[in-house]
Amino acid sequence: MDAREELKGILIERSILKGDFTLVSGRKSSYYINGKMTTLHARGLYLAASLLLDRLGPLECDAFAGPVIGADPIIGALLALSAERGLPRGGLLIRKEAKGHGTGRLVEGDLREGMRVVVVEDVATTGGSLLRAAEAVAAGGGVVAGIHVLVDREEGAAENIAAAGYPFDSLFKVSELL
């Protein structure tokens, strides 16, 4: 079994829940994709990060960023694997809102002017949290090189992100997993 098929199996087994759910977007759904159940699983995270790095290929970037919680394990794994492959990158975590204490930062990490950043996340529905993360990167002087997710729920994220001018890619579409 190849790595993509193995990851698909892990996502189906661990991350897809059936029932009545309210999504972050406020929409109702008969299924929920809890990507963290895959990215907090050793083999699932390893496969996800490996496949994302392979997919990014020659894309020039200096850092990986994403919304806190969903992107955190992915960014950590991308950093470790990119270093192992001789392509060390930086990591950035994007808070939902700026801290009310300490440095008061919205973006944690060494974001520098002109830095090319790939924004990542486990699941995209409408793309709202990814667009907020991209805006935070841009506001800090970074350049968003692309937005990549493990699973696209196929509910507008690709279109909304493209309309904002960012390249978008997903390892899986939800239609492949249901």
- Residue 126 corresponds to which tokens in the numbers above? 């409408």
Answer yes or no: is 13 within a domain. no
**CA-to-CA distance for 77 and 68, rounded, in angstroms?**
14
What local confidence, expressed as pLDDT, does residue 33 receive?
95
Contact 78, 47 (CB under 8 A): no
Answer yes or no: is 36 within a domain. no
Q: How far is CA 174 from CA 92, 149, 151, in A?
A: 27, 12, 6
Query: CA 139 from chain center: how many Å?
Result: 19
Domain count, the chain: 1
What local confidence, expressed as pLDDT, does residue 96 receive?
84
What local confidence, expressed as pLDDT, does residue 30 receive?
94
The CATH number assigned to the domain holding 117 equals 3.40.50.2020
First to last CA, the chain: 19
- Residue 75 corresponds to which tokens in the numbers above? 């960014």
Strands 63-67 and 116-124, sheet pairing: parallel
Answer yes or no: is 78 within a domain. yes
- For the chain, which ranges sit under pLDDT 50? none
Contact 119, 51 (CB under 8 A): no
- Residue 77 corresponds to which tokens in the numbers above? 């794994």
Answer yes or no: is 18 within a domain. no
Domain that holds residue 140: 49-177
Residue whose pair of structure tokens reads 């661990």 in the numeric block: 14
Tell me how crowded residue 129 is: count the other CB atoms within 10 A of its CB.
24
What local confidence, expressed as pLDDT, does residue 32 receive?
94
**CA-to-CA distance for 63 and 89, rounded, in angstroms?**
5
Answer yes or no: is 147 within a domain. yes
| Tens-digit pLDDT profile for residues 117-140 | 999 999 999 999 999 999 999 999
Contact 145, 134 (CB under 8 A): no
Integer Rg of the chain from CA: 16
